[in-house]
Structure 1
Amino acid sequence: MKVEIVRAWPGQVQMESLDLPAGATVADARAQCGWDEPIVAIFGERITDERRALREGDRVEFLRLLIADPKEARRRRAEHNPLPRTHRAPKSKRSV
């Protein structure tokens, strides 16, 4: 059975195809490729049990840990580079 394995870094992606025997698991794929990233996902869904059986055509993603909380990083960028205030025309007064 063929599965695709993927891992990525900022600006770089590594993709390979593995030919595994029927009934192979995520752990088997990890052992064959030798990658040691701590998080594994299949088609973007995180896998906690590496004994999960793979199916033909699965995309196994080896993910690294986040180095920063994305929301906190966005807050810091916004504080250092605030958007310029735009001038808005006053709302017209409604006549009664």
Structure 2
Amino acid sequence: MKVEVVYALPEEQSLIALDVQEGTTVMEAIVLSQLLNKYPEIDLNTYKVGIFSKVTTLTAVLREFDRVEIYRPLKIDPKEIRRKKAEKNKKLTK
């Protein structure tokens, strides 16, 4: 069955198309993609993974045409960004 494994950095994106057997897990697809070799900073103990933008586990079994996504940790909390932006806007309106 056909699946894809994706990992994105701000400056580049890697999308690897694979033909895998039924019963293949997210972890197995990631290993087969060789992205762990290309990007040694990927730490599957801390990075989250998903299928089509929905967080899942490394043991989840894939279905035909699934897209496995490896998510980098956020450097800045989105809530913190919004809070700082609101503070800045508040100062500008005074």
TM tier, shorter chain? 0.7 to 0.9
Specify the alignment match of 1:53 in structure 2: 61
- TM-score, normalised relative to structure 2: 0.73
* Residues 10-89 of structure 1: pairs in structure 2 closer than 5 A: 10-34=10-34, 35=36, 36-37=42-43, 38-48=47-57, 50-80=58-88, 82=89, 85=93
SS in structure 1 at match of 2:23 = coil
Specify the alignment match of 2:39 in structure 1: none
Query: Relative contact order (alpha carbons < 8 A, sep ≥ 6): 1 or 2 greater?
Result: 2
SS in structure 1 at match of 2:31 = helix
- TM-score, normalised relative to structure 1: 0.72
SS in structure 2 at match of 1:41 = strand
Q: Percent identity?
A: 41
**Structure 2 CA distance for partners of 1:10 and 1:78, relative to 1, 3 Å:** farther
Unaligned runs of 5+ in 2: 37-41
Unaligned runs of 5+ in 1: 86-96
State the Cα RMSD in Å. Answer: 1.9
What is the count of residue pairs matched by the alignment?
83
* Runs of 4+ residues deviating >3 angstroms: 77-80
Name whichever of 61-70 and 71-80 sits farther off.
71-80
Higher helix fraction: Structure 1 or Structure 2? 2
Q: Could you say which structure has the larger radius of gyration?
A: 1
